[in-house]
Amino acid sequence: MKLHNYFRSSASFRVRIALALKGLDYEYVPVHLVKGEQLQAPFAQLSPERLVPVLQDGDQTLSQSLAIIEYLDETHPEPPLLPADPPGRARVRALALDIACEIHPLNNLRVLRYLVRQLGVSDEAKNGWYRHWVETGLEAVERQLAGHPATGRYCHGDTPTLADCVLVPQIFNAQRFDCRLDHVPTVMKVFEHCMQHPAFIAAQPSRCPDAEA
Amino acid sequence: MKLHNYFRSSASFRVRIALALKGLDYEYVPVHLVKGEQLQAPFAQLSPERLVPVLQDGDQTLSQSLAIIEYLDETHPEPPLLPADPPGRARVRALALDIACEIHPLNNLRVLRYLVRQLGVSDEAKNGWYRHWVETGLEAVERQLAGHPATGRYCHGDTPTLADCVLVPQIFNAQRFDCRLDHVPTVMKVFEHCMQHPAFIAAQPSRCPDAEA
């Protein structure tokens, strides 16, 4: 397998965690988003969306991090990244989507650039926008986790799932942009537990071949 | 089953289509987003995210439209809304996520309000923002669909899938905001085919009990 990704892309980070949890080896192909390599050949010919991550598995070319992780879970079922029961699967997917649809899309590079370049927003207002969506979005995740009987050491039970693969990169972003996190103690407890796990440690941006200071 | 939703919410519309495709009856519970009913009791007590749609099925309370549709597909397998093969499932999920993560989150009500109220963006610039993400996002979907051997009368083959449940509401939004659509002929061909299907027709906003002119 080949993973086309960028060390700082949180969608890429999600897939790196899943691959590490499953113990799957892959070739790391860096795509430098800040330099715009996702818009140029050869990557642009591979990716109709011009987005990382892209996973190549044999003759399959897969996109969208959540779809890639579900594919990995279907093709390499052990250890499972989704519970066996439909309500549990729905809870894990909803937690993942609470981040992947409600927080992350508002804060990716092309959106921040549009705010500054097209709308003339100041750096201060741009950073306020970033923090607003992270802080309110994680508050919703906190309400989902706190006190729910299915929440364990991880988001759902005591083994990592898709939800943790999505949560951890979002917390890395939140920390990088100095977001408030003291209002989401359950989220942070899960995050800290994840960061004890070798797969999460190995997948983090600073361990990537294309990492920058 | 009870579906808490809003006629104009495209995430709600996705679930209404899936329920109609599966022939499942449900009680329609309106939540008026423009009046802020999602932030007040009783709905706010039901939904940690304060977002529609929410599906109640027995003692389960489910959120996030894509997670709800996957749950419905697992608990009521016929007709299937995902293909049987992992690469096909990954393609359908990626198409759904290309809209649910890359287009829709940028254009929902609370984001448009933040642009106007917090960033002081003009109505014209706000509408430009809306159209930008719809038009560039649908262009990426067009590149996914056009010429791909798996594209049929629907996004994937000749029966409706999760991808169509997500595509159709996005096109309704695009039309309502006068977005350009002539650059996405394959997308529009699939959309028009969907809108011949009784389930898509029955689920559309104008047919909802809480529909407004």
Is the predicted pLDDT of residue A87 greater than 90, yes or no?
yes
Domain end marker among A78, A110, A132: A78
Regarding whether A93 and A69 lie in a shared domain, the answer is no
Chain B partners within 8 Å of A105 (Cβ)? 101-102, 105-106
Q: Is residue B148 part of a domain?
A: yes
Regarding whether A184 and A97 lie in a shared domain, the answer is yes
Tell me the per-residue pLDDT of B123-141, one tens digit each, with 9 for 90 and over: 999 999 999 999 999 999 9
Is the predicted pLDDT of residue B147 greater than 90, yes or no?
no
Q: Is residue B211 part of a domain?
A: no
Regarding whether A148 and A69 lie in a shared domain, the answer is no
Cis peptide bond upstream of B42, omega within 30: yes
Please indicate whether, in this complex, the C-beta atoms of B64 and A118 are within 8 angstroms of each other: no
Residue of B nearest to A112 (CA): B106
The answer to whether A83 and A32 are in contact (CB under 8 A) is no
The pair of structure tokens assigned to A188 is 């942070």
pLDDT band at A213 (very low <50, low <70, confident <90, very high): confident
The answer to whether A175 and A181 are in contact (CB under 8 A) is yes
Regarding whether B115 and B58 lie in a shared domain, the answer is no
Q: Is residue A212 part of a domain?
A: no
Give the 3-state secondary structure of residue A39: helix
Report which secondary-structure segment, H or E, holds B70. helix B65-75
Regarding whether A97 and A66 lie in a shared domain, the answer is no
CB atoms within 10 A of CB B40: 12
The answer to whether A174 and A181 are in contact (CB under 8 A) is yes
Please, what is the angle between helix A162-176 and helix A185-194, to 10°?
110
Instruction: State which residues form the domain around A48.
Output: 2-78
Tell me the per-residue pLDDT of A38-66, one tens digit each, with 9 for 90 and over: 999 999 999 989 999 999 999 999 999 99
pLDDT band at B213 (very low <50, low <70, confident <90, very high): confident
What percent of the residues of chain B are helix, what percent strand, and what percent coil, each to the nearest 5? 55, 10, 40
Residue of B nearest to A93 (CA): B67
pLDDT at A147: 84
Regarding whether B97 and B184 lie in a shared domain, the answer is yes
The pair of structure tokens assigned to B169 is 């509401």
Q: Is residue A210 part of a domain?
A: no
Tell me the per-residue pLDDT of B193-205, one tens digit each, with 9 for 90 and over: 999 999 999 999 9
The alpha carbon of residue A165 and the mean position of all alpha carbons in its chain are separated, in whole angstroms, by 6
Distance from CA of A205 to the nearest CA of B (A): 22
CB atoms within 10 A of CB B87: 18
Residue B36 backbone class (left: φ over 0; alpha: ψ -120 to 50; beta: rest): left
Q: Mean pLDDT throughout B133-155?
A: 97
pLDDT at A208: 97
Chain B partners within 8 Å of A14 (Cβ)? none
pLDDT at A80: 98
Please indicate whether, in this complex, the C-beta atoms of A48 and B121 are within 8 angstroms of each other: no
The pair of structure tokens assigned to A26 is 């892959």
Q: Is B134 on the interface with A (CB under 8 A)?
A: no
Domain end marker among B63, B79, B95: B79
Tell me the per-residue pLDDT of B37-88, one tens digit each, with 9 for 90 and over: 999 999 999 999 999 999 999 999 999 999 999 999 999 999 999 999 999 9
Regarding whether A103 and A149 lie in a shared domain, the answer is yes
The answer to whether A90 and B67 are in contact (CB under 8 A) is yes
Please indicate whether, in this complex, the C-beta atoms of A132 and B118 are within 8 angstroms of each other: yes
Q: Is A119 on the interface with B (CB under 8 A)?
A: yes
CATH of the domain at B11: 3.40.30.10
CATH of the domain at B154: 1.20.1050.10
Regarding whether A133 and A173 lie in a shared domain, the answer is yes
Distance from CA of B174 to the nearest CA of A (A): 18
Domain end marker among B48, B79, B110: B79
Please indicate whether, in this complex, the C-beta atoms of A101 and B100 are within 8 angstroms of each other: yes
Chain A partners within 8 Å of B98 (Cβ)? 49, 63-64
What is the C-alpha separation between B186 and B149, in angstroms, rounded?
13
Tell me the per-residue pLDDT of A133-172, one tens digit each, with 9 for 90 and over: 999 999 999 999 998 999 999 999 999 999 999 999 999 9
CA separation, residue A104 to residues A1, A137, A143, B39, B100 (Å)? 26, 9, 18, 22, 12
Q: Mean pLDDT throughout A54-79?
A: 98
Backbone angles phi, psi at A158, to 5 degrees: -110, 15
Matching residue, tokens 């809480």:
B210
Q: Is residue A208 part of a domain?
A: no
Tell me the residues of chain B between 56 and 75 that have a Cβ less than 8 Å away from chain A: 60, 62-64, 66-68, 70-71, 74-75
Regarding whether B62 and B116 lie in a shared domain, the answer is no
The answer to whether B67 and A93 are in contact (CB under 8 A) is yes
Give the 3-state secondary structure of residue A82: coil
Q: Is B101 on the interface with A (CB under 8 A)?
A: yes
Q: Is residue B212 part of a domain?
A: no
- Number of domains chain A contains: 2
Contacts 24+ apart (CB under 8 A), B154-157: B154/B190, B154/B193, B154/B194, B155/B92, B155/B95, B155/B190, B156/B83, B156/B88, B156/B91, B156/B92, B156/B95, B157/B83
Is the predicted pLDDT of residue A185 greater than 90, yes or no?
yes
Nearest to A46 by CA among A26, A70, A62, A30: A62
Please indicate whether, in this complex, the C-beta atoms of A87 and B62 are within 8 angstroms of each other: yes
pLDDT at B138: 98
Q: What percent of chain B has pLDDT over 90?
A: 96
Report which secondary-structure segment, H or E, holds B62. strand B60-63
Please, what is the angle between helix B109-117 and helix B123-145, to 10°?
140
Chain A partners within 8 Å of B69 (Cβ)? none
In A52-207, at which residue ranges do the beta strands (DSSP E only) sit? 54-57, 60-63
The pair of structure tokens assigned to B166 is 């997500």
Regarding whether A167 and A90 lie in a shared domain, the answer is yes
- Choosing among B38, B66, B76, B151, which should be mutated to test the A contact, i.e. which has the most A CBs within 10 A? B66
Regarding whether A196 and A96 lie in a shared domain, the answer is yes
Average pLDDT, chain A: 97
Residue of A nearest to B73 (CA): A86
Is the predicted pLDDT of residue B11 greater than 90, yes or no?
yes
Q: Is residue A207 part of a domain?
A: no
Distance from CA of A130 to the nearest CA of B (A): 12
pLDDT at A212: 93
Average pLDDT, chain B: 97
Regarding whether B168 and B132 lie in a shared domain, the answer is yes
